[in-house]
Structure 1
Amino acid sequence: MADRYDPKSGENLDKFDNAGDPSSDTWAALVTHLTGYPVPDRNTVFDTLKSDHGGKLFRMDIKERSLSLLVKDSGFLTNKGEDYDIWFFNSGKKRSIMQARIVFEGRVTAGDEIIFAAPGSDTVEGAQVRDGNEFTDYNKDKMSTIPLSRYMNGPRAALLALLGGSTKDARFSNVGVADTDMVDLNSFGTTGESFDFAAKFFRDHATVLKDWEDRFSRDDASWKGEAAEVFRSLLKKIRENYDSYVETFDSKPGSGDETTTGGTVYSRALSLGRTYLEDSATKLLDAWLTWAKSSYYDPHQVLRYVLDDLAQWVDANNVAKTDLTSHTTNYYTSVSHSPQAGYSQVHPEYGDLTDVANWAKVGDKAVKIWSQGVSEYLGKPAAQVQSDLNNHFLDLGKDFSENVPKPKSTSTASEEYQEKKEEEQQEELDKQHDEDLKYQQQLRDEQNQQREEDKKYQEELREEQRQQREEDKKYQDELRAEQKAEQEEAKKQADELREEQNRQREEDKKYQEELRDEQKGEQDEAKKLQEDLREEQNQQRDEDRKYQDELRDEQKAEQDEAKREAEEQAKAMEESLGGLNDPNSAGDQDLSDIDDLLNQNPPTTESLGSLDTPNGLNDTNGLSDANGLNDVNLNDVDDVNGDGRRDSTSDVPPITQSLGNLGGINGGIGDPRRSPTGGSTQLTGDGDVLSDFPDGSSSSFDPDSGVLTTTAPDGT
């Protein structure tokens, strides 16, 4: 009985956590290139193992089971009829549990056991491999493991055939190598032998040609003449070309010191090429055997690791986080479940387990991990083999490209003979040329001698010119000395003038400073004088202001005195008139002294107002202009205190006394009265009392309002 969970499932899955997505397939490309075997595309080998009722490598369904039934554990081969079972709770189904039933598509079984693919041998040759097969699954879907088997095991068959010398007969699962793509390592040896045969031909015949050439070159040769010379030249030409070919063929391969076979550089390079290919095939087969022994050879086994990981997550986060409750009645017992804290039915990678569509992600992950295993166990070694093989063949290519046989001469025998004749003619020409050169040399010697004489004469001329230049230079130096002396004298005079100018400037500067000091003194005196004048003006202003204040005080006193006198006069007049307007007074009023009262010397500043219709009388002659008339007639002041009704018996009898003459009161309007202080006072047409003072100030008193207005001498 298999374990529910493989104890190494987690370790096997974690191995490629940091690996990237496997995209390129170096392994398949290199095997096809070396052997011609058409390795299937790794991205398509699972297309025929994908179920619409599950995903890649498996089919499945989810059954709802009653909690009252016996529930088995999740895991691998725990329930007959399924390859894998995962039990989990659905929070929406309180009285049931879900069973995910999984069957691996294309697996190989023995009874109730699944047999995962394995080589079963420690050698590549003895490995047991499966060809794959086509089948129809439970859901009537057509399935096939043949593409997967061809990918897994076809490269092994092709590489073994390559080591055997040719991939012509390499086949696996009814797929072989096309004739146009086959690789025959034996052709390397055959081609190398062809180069060796060619080298042997050139090497053997070069000796024969050398012997013939020597015979025609001897003095006792039976065949002489121009034709014999042409034939000997031909033999020499062929022999030299053969020697060149043999020298090239005998070159050592530049690709290394490996042990090789063959008599030429080409056959040895081809021998190395075959060795490199065989070594590469051996390394690739070793990598394949390592992969076949690993946990990532059979994708069904990888699928089990993924399901183990999922089932353990369900156990920890779903089943273990669920409480079961039993309810018993007289007739039956029911069981329900409820989630605990931390419960989940949504896997972080696959999603909600109740959705069958999400389970396809399980197959996708298994295929991804299997592909990562291929890249790790086969792709990396293949990349290294490919790199090494490329470098080796680049070096071998140079053995061919850099050792191309080249003849020393490509001309014909007649051309060689003609060249010899031309060489003889050239020798004659060279001899004549040497004589010409000798004659020319003699001419050159004579010319050199003449040049020496000319040179000597020129040197004598140069010496004379040099002496003349020395004398001229001496004369020029004397002139410069005289000019320098004159310049020194002129400079001395200029310095003296400059010193004199500086002294004059100093004196001028001193004089200017004295003038500035004098001007500054005068300015200080003028400033002091101005300040004294300003001080005197300030004192004068203070005295004037004091005098004006005294005048104002005097004027105010006079005004107060005038006001007091006016008030006394008004009071006296009021007392003199007595009860003139008092209805309770006696019937007869004595006005005999009114003239004296009104004609006193002090001016009257009070107006008696208007007596026109006093107390509402209708027929009276008014006293409205009492202050402006010389003669005032009071004859019509009858019924002064009456009520306006003449015939009333209660009226006071009319006053019949004469009031005398009021003429000349206040001396008339506009006639001023002199005051003891030198001013004047007068009554204006408006009834105001106007006073003028000696300092030019004035005051005006309005008896109606009681307002006294004072005007300063400046009019303010």
Structure 2
Amino acid sequence: MREENVKPLTSDNDAWHQAVKLFTGYDAPLRHTLFDELAGNAGIPQMKVEISKQSHVDYADPNDFNWRVENAGWRIENTDFVIPFYLTGGDNPSSGDQVSMYKARITLLGNKGSDGPPAGGVVEGGEFKSQYDNHLGLTGDAAVWTTQPLTQYSYGTGRALEALLNDRDGTHGFHWNGKNVPNDQAVTLTSFDTAASAFDRAAQFFVDRRDAVEEWERRIGVEQNEAWRGQAAGVFWNLVHTLGKQYDGYAKDMRPSGSTGSKQGDELRQAKTDFRNAASTLQRGWARWEYMEGNPLRWLHDLLVEITDHVWERNIKMITYKVHANRYGATTTYHATAGFDQTATRFGMGDNFGQLDDLTTWKKVGERAVQNWQASVIESLEVPANEAIRQVHNSWSTKNFDLGSVRTRGGSDLTSSYTEDKNEKKEADAAKAAADAARKQEEFMAWQKEQAAKAEAEAKRREEEAKKEQERREKEADEKEAKAKAEQERKEKEAEEKEAALRAEQERKEAEAKAEQERKEQEAKAEQGRKEQEAGEKEAQAKAEQDRKEAEAEAKAGEKEAEAERRQAEAQEKAEQKEAEQERKQAEAEAKAEEKQREQEAKQEEAQRKQEEAQQRQEQVQATQFNQARTDQERARKEQEQKEAQAAAKAEEKEREAEAKQAEAEAEAERRQAEAQEKAEQK
């Protein structure tokens, strides 16, 4: 992930914009305006963010990796991206603070692709709007966005370079996604060839004419005949001699000795080659960039994934729970542990964007994603663009690009001798010479047309040779592409081997986790056995205590029986009178004894006169208590066994669910590992 500090953009410092406009005539939108119409609520670039507090805390087991797959990440809960998190009541959480659960539901604004995370590749942008009215307070123009300027810049520039390189008419008539190249700004590479061929034909004409004039000079003589001076013959000799000097000068200026074509044509062809090479370099760099880095939503998605990693490790996994029992049952609260963090931070980094529930935090996240995309433009497009402009400038500078000059030699007056000749004979001779010159001129013109036809045939031959050369270069390019493909396949094979190693490591970790689970289950069973042993010991103690109380009760009963026999005689008469009342009270006492054990002992003194019956009732009450205690213990034991069975069944069910989720997580991990490997190799 790039972390360059991107300076503010203007039309003066966007080298990619300048280079494409210079090379093709395509005037893309300025880069600093591309995201003006791609902002959601609170001005957050490229996304809408909805923070919602949950009605309850969904506790995540730190070892339950499936929980994250089901609750966090791409395309969860019918939206683009979801990040769940916990918050304490304050800005500075500490261990033990109680937490509440929140979710950040994120909708990306831009070209997201189909099923998977945002992908690269050329797409045509357009206008789109929110499918929900007044969602997050966005209405009217604020709920309408467009990616057209962004795609015109990211993809239209590369398409213009492709048209320059591949179309015969270059960028003449080029248009893409609503952006056209004006005719007066279009660039065509064939115009270099047209101008170069024109210079070649001109040079060939002067060379051919120079040879013809030399033949004329040979025939009429290198030196002028004295008898011709002042005559028409002398004028014609001067004409031929002057043409010879001029054509020879033109030929030397345009076609130096030992060369073919023309100096000017060769310079233009070299200028075209340098220009085309620079444009090809830009196009190849753009083709890699647009697929790997061109979509700014890919940078935002990767940033959200890194933040989710941090939230999982330092927030979701860093809480615990407490169970509070009360007369109505039990309640559970959730609390932060040491190391708990509630900020949006990339995992393993220190770039704190702010607290997770603050919209300004997510605005900073969106701005960072845009900055990372801008940095990729600078590295992958601007740097090569500056180099391409420099290369073309150096190639076309006066030091390296020299068309030379075509100068006219000599300047004699061809009519001077003729005007001095005043007699009719000289006039007749001059007329005859003029007629001869006219005839020769006609012959010269016919010959010139013939030479032009030859030059055109030669140009056609050279064009065919150039075409063959182009085909040869394309073949070489195909061979290089095949080699690159083989290299890519080799890297893919290495990635598969690495993936296999990672899978083996994952299986090892799963085995360790399973062994740890079995160890915990054995510990739980041992703890249960210990508790059962303690329950048995307590039951034995209760029985011994009950036996002791029964012995004490029997002793007291003996004492009370002797006292009762002594008082029996005295109370016999009164007993007969109160027997009915006593029976009624005794019935009430028995009913109350069943409800309140402690009240029964207080009322036993009132039944002293019938101690044996009271003692019998006491023994029955004690037996009932003992049986009730054993019943309660048996019920508690059965409830414990039932809970253990339910816990075991639940554990088995969770284990089956965990195994299923683990399989899904492994598949997801393998897919993400492949994506990560591919992304790493591409970077």
SS in 2 for 1:32: helix
Aligned to 2:174: 170
Aligned to 1:631: none
Match status 1:142 vs 2:144: yes
Per-residue CA deviations over 1:569-603 (Å, capped at 9, x if unaligned) read: xxxxxxxxxxxxxxxxxxxxxxxxxxxxxxxxxxx
Instruction: Find the aligned partners of 1:311 and 1:104 in 2 and give their Cα distance.
Output: 16
Match status 1:202 vs 2:214: no
Equivalent residue runs for 1:661-680 within 5 Å: none
Aligned to 1:353: 356
Aligned to 1:316: 313
Per-residue CA deviations over 1:599-640 (Å, capped at 9, x if unaligned) read: xxxxxxxxxxxxxxxxxxxxxxxxxxxxxxxxxxxxxxxxxx
Change (3 A) 1:262 1:151: farther
Match status 1:133 vs 2:134: no
Aligned to 1:362: 365
Equivalent residue runs for 1:498-537 within 5 Å: none
Match status 1:336 vs 2:333: yes
- Equivalent of 1:182 in 180, 186, 190: 186
CA contact (8 A) 2:196 2:265 kept: yes
Equivalent residue runs for 1:677-716 within 5 Å: none
Query: 1:193 deviation in Å?
Result: 1.9
Aligned to 2:278: 280
Aligned to 2:486: none
Root mean square deviation of aligned Cα: 3.2
Instruction: Find the aligned partners of 2:368 and 2:226 in 1 and give their Cα distance.
Output: 94
Aligned to 1:406: 407
Runs of at least 5 residues in structure 2 that lack an aligned partner in the other structure: 61-66, 91-97, 345-350, 420-683
Query: 1:310 deviation in Å?
Result: 1.8
CA contact (8 A) 2:199 2:262 kept: yes
Match status 1:108 vs 2:112: yes
SS in 2 for 1:49: coil
Per-residue CA deviations over 1:627-682 (Å, capped at 9, x if unaligned) read: xxxxxxxxxxxxxxxxxxxxxxxxxxxxxxxxxxxxxxxxxxxxxxxxxxxxxxxx
Per-residue CA deviations over 1:484-511 (Å, capped at 9, x if unaligned) read: xxxxxxxxxxxxxxxxxxxxxxxxxxxx
Runs of at least 5 residues in structure 1 that lack an aligned partner in the other structure: 1-12, 120-128, 254-260, 419-716
Instruction: Find the aligned partners of 1:262 and 1:328 in 2 and give their Cα distance.
Output: 103
CA contact (8 A) 1:328 1:334 kept: yes
SS in 1 for 2:53: strand
Aligned residues: 383
Instruction: Find the aligned partners of 2:242 and 2:183 in 1 and give their Cα distance.
Output: 45
Aligned to 1:266: 264
Equivalent residue runs for 1:219-618 within 5 Å: 224-227=228-231, 228-251=233-256, 263-294=261-292, 296-327=293-324, 329=326, 334-347=331-344, 348-394=351-397, 398-400=401-403, 403-413=404-414
SS in 2 for 1:48: coil
Per-residue CA deviations over 1:369-394 (Å, capped at 9, x if unaligned) read: 11111222222222332222222222
Instruction: Find the aligned partners of 1:29 and 1:315 in 2 and give their Cα distance.
Output: 44
Instruction: Find the aligned partners of 2:127 and 2:5 in 1 and give their Cα distance.
Output: 33
Query: Once structures 1 and 2 are overlaid, which stretch shifts more, 308-317 or 80-89?
Result: 308-317
CA contact (8 A) 1:89 1:318 kept: yes
Match status 1:88 vs 2:78: no
CA contact (8 A) 1:273 1:396 kept: no
The amino acid across from 2:120 in the alignment is A
Aligned to 2:648: none
Query: 1:301 deviation in Å?
Result: 1.4
Query: 1:312 deviation in Å?
Result: 2.3
Instruction: Find the aligned partners of 1:220 and 1:337 in 2 and give their Cα distance.
Output: 120
Query: 1:290 deviation in Å?
Result: 1.9
The amino acid across from 1:364 in the alignment is E
Change (3 A) 1:388 1:398: closer
Aligned to 2:22: 33
CA contact (8 A) 1:131 1:149 kept: yes
Change (3 A) 1:334 1:65: farther
CA contact (8 A) 1:21 1:372 kept: no
Instruction: Find the aligned partners of 1:237 and 1:153 in 2 and give their Cα distance.
Output: 60
The amino acid across from 1:41 in the alignment is L
Change (3 A) 1:335 1:251: farther
Larger radius of gyration: 1
Query: 1:214 deviation in Å?
Result: 4.0
The amino acid across from 2:163 in the alignment is A
The amino acid across from 2:410 in the alignment is S
SS in 2 for 1:287: helix
The amino acid across from 2:358 in the alignment is D
The amino acid across from 1:187 in the alignment is S
Query: Once structures 1 and 2 are overlaid, which stretch shifts more, 69-78 or 354-363?
Result: 69-78
CA contact (8 A) 2:84 2:102 kept: yes
Aligned to 1:159: 161
Query: 1:282 deviation in Å?
Result: 1.8
Change (3 A) 1:145 1:356: same
The amino acid across from 1:118 in the alignment is G
Instruction: Find the aligned partners of 2:150 and 2:330 in 1 and give their Cα distance.
Output: 51
The amino acid across from 2:409 in the alignment is K
Aligned to 1:682: none
Query: Once structures 1 and 2 are overlaid, which stretch shifts more, 68-77 or 45-54?
Result: 68-77
CA contact (8 A) 1:58 1:102 kept: yes
Query: 1:95 deviation in Å?
Result: 5.7
- Percent of paired sites with the same residue: 26
Instruction: Find the aligned partners of 2:355 and 2:124 in 1 and give their Cα distance.
Output: 38
Which gives a bigger RCO, structure 1 or 2 (Cα 8 Å, sep 6+)?
2
Instruction: Find the aligned partners of 2:223 and 2:361 in 1 and give their Cα distance.
Output: 104
SS in 2 for 1:292: helix
SS in 1 for 2:106: strand
Per-residue CA deviations over 1:315-368 (Å, capped at 9, x if unaligned) read: 333334444334455657654344344433345531222221221111110111
Instruction: Find the aligned partners of 2:409 and 2:327 in 1 and give their Cα distance.
Output: 118
The amino acid across from 2:342 in the alignment is Q
CA contact (8 A) 1:269 1:396 kept: no
CA contact (8 A) 2:112 2:297 kept: no
Instruction: Find the aligned partners of 1:27 and 1:381 in 2 and give their Cα distance.
Output: 8
Aligned to 2:439: none
Instruction: Find the aligned partners of 2:417 and 2:14 in 1 and give their Cα distance.
Output: 62
Instruction: Find the aligned partners of 1:149 and 1:218 in 2 and give their Cα distance.
Output: 73
Change (3 A) 1:333 1:411: farther
CA contact (8 A) 2:80 2:108 kept: yes
Change (3 A) 1:232 1:305: same
Aligned to 2:93: none
SS in 2 for 1:66: coil
The amino acid across from 2:124 in the alignment is D
CA contact (8 A) 1:66 1:95 kept: no
Query: Once structures 1 and 2 are overlaid, which stretch shifts more, 69-78 or 242-251?
Result: 69-78
Aligned to 1:518: none
CA contact (8 A) 2:26 2:157 kept: yes
Query: 1:18 deviation in Å?
Result: 5.8
Change (3 A) 1:60 1:18: closer
Change (3 A) 1:174 1:102: same
Aligned to 1:460: none
Per-residue CA deviations over 1:3-28 (Å, capped at 9, x if unaligned) read: xxxxxxxxxx2xx2467658543222
The amino acid across from 1:404 in the alignment is S
SS in 2 for 1:108: coil
The amino acid across from 2:210 in the alignment is A
